[in-house]
Amino acid sequence: MPILYVKSGCAFCAKVLQAAEELGVSLDVRNVADPGITEELIAHGGKRQMPYLIDEEHNVAMYESDDIVSYLHETFTPKQ
């Protein structure tokens, strides 16, 4: 299951969460407001920027909400 690091009140994070919901993609959402999550985020991505997606199954890690939304659509939209 992809991991998404978010911050409460972040409009960019909300955009990614909405896209995932519309696509029916389950995410392990980790909020930097929770203890230890900021340190975990920095250990993975190197900086304190949200949203940040890690999809180990596809060997993908990325920042930027538009990039993440595009990735979710490309990867999780059922092929016709």
Domain boundaries, the chain: 3-76
- Quote the CA–CA distance of 65 and 78 in Å, as a whole number: 21
Query: What confidence tens digit (pLDDT) does each residue in 38-68 have?
Result: 999 999 999 999 999 999 999 999 999 999 9
Q: What contacts 23, CB < 8 A, 6 or more positions away?
A: 72, 73, 76, 77
- The CB-side HSE value for 14 (13 A sphere, CA atoms) comes to 4
Tell me 6's DSSP state. E
For 3-76, CATH number?
A: 3.40.30.10
* pLDDT, tens only, 11-39: 999 999 999 999 999 999 999 999 999 99
The 10 Å Cβ neighbour count of residue 76 is 15
What integer pLDDT is reported at residue 77 of this predicted model?
A: 85
